[in-house]
Amino acid sequence: MPTLAYLTQVTQGSPGDISIRGFDDGLWEDLLSLDLACSLKWKVLSAGPCPNARRVFFQLVGEPDVEGRDEPVADLLGQGSFATRREAGRQFHAWVAAANQEINEWLSTSGQLTFSGQIPERLAGFYAQRAECLGQHVANLSLDGAKAVMNVEQAINTRGLPFGAPTPDGAWVNMPSQFALGVFEAKLTPPPEPCDVYLLTAYAALLEWEHRRPCDYGVLLSLDSGSGQLCCDPYYLGEVARDHVRQNIEHFASLIAWSRLQGQDVISDQKQLDVTQLCRPECPERGPACPRCWYRGECRGQT
Ligand code: SF4
């Protein structure tokens, strides 16, 4: 269960120092120097690995080619039937959000844990089986249960950065100041590794910007496509993961510089980014990330 996966990491503590932080203006320097008004897709921060700025370019101008997204799904957690995997994903999100709210209620009131009949039994059982262990972690940390509640689907305030309002599926931001914050995503189709880490770390950096305190932990809830079992995986969002976000900011800045060199008017007088003016960077030699890239069809003309 997500809150248990977060608190387990908190209990174990952070394994190392992190020098790249979202509350340090230095991380955002290249971005802020462009003086953009809010017009930038925040997901530019979570574009996956690429030898140059090409993946950031595709992230800004196109849609990822997610395998199986429009194929039918007959069963989801014992419930059927869904027209497409994309629609099933939306339903999965809604159920997980409802289950997280139930856990929040239970943590805040110390009452009886119950799940609405709308939540599939398999998901409710997954949460219920882990509730006792969650209660033990709360007690071990001498926590008021209300401090461990997850903010469900609450937009991050990115005031001062040129992004809209990124909304993670959840975030633990109410913990006492000695504990690092955490971020949560639920994905029926998780992004291919290592993009899961990129996504969580981008959220973490933005939460650090908003709350001016460390956010070191991520949790991803997904459904194993083979076994149909729920998987709740913890992620430590350390220095290497932060470097991915920093590199994407650098790639974005280099993309703007490259496009301007080609004579393109990429940022208007109103400080808006015009993605139609962006120039596609050179195609690099095939890199190790290419076989798992969602844009490889567009980039290399094959899937
Ligand atoms: S296919 Fe390779 S070069 Fe093209 S965008 Fe993806 S990672 Fe970058």
How many percent of the chain have pLDDT more than 90? Answer: 76
- The tens digit of pLDDT for each residue in 190-243 reads 777 788 899 999 999 999 999 999 999 999 999 987 788 999 999 999 999 999
Residues 6 or more apart in contact with residue 299 via CB below 8 angstroms: 54, 55, 58, 283, 290, 293
Which ligand 1 atom minimizes the distance to the CA of 57?
5
pLDDT band at 27, cuts 50/70/90?
very high
What's the pTM value of the predicted model, to 2 decimals?
A: 0.94
Mean pLDDT score across all residues of the chain: 92
Q: Which domain holds residue 282?
A: 2-300
CB 215 within 8 A of CB 189: no
- Please give the residue that has the higher pLDDT: either 55 or 69: 55
Q: What is the pLDDT of residue 36?
A: 95
Residues with CB under 6 A from ligand 1: 50-51, 54-55, 58, 284, 287, 289-290, 293, 295-296, 299-300
- How far apart CA 169 and CA 20 sit, in angstroms, is 24
Pairing of the two strands 151-152 and 181-187:
unpaired
Residue 195 structure tokens: 């993009």
- Is the pLDDT at 277 greater than 80, yes or no? yes
Q: Is the pLDDT of residue 303 over 60?
A: no
Residue to probe by mutation, ligand 1, list 290, 298, 303, most atoms within 8 Å of CB? 290
**Predicted pLDDT of residue 120:** 95
- Of 259, 247, 272, 300, residue with least CA distance to 52: 247
Ligand 1 atom 8 nearest Cα: 50
**R_g of the chain, CA atoms, integer Å:** 20
Number of domains in the chain: 1
Burial 176-208 (b: 16+ CB within 10 A, else e): eeebbbbbbbbbbbbbeebbbbbbbbbbbbbbb
State the Cα–Cα distance between residues 123 and 94, nearest whole angstrom.
Answer: 12
The residues that bridge with 182 in the sheet, in sequence order, are: 172, 217
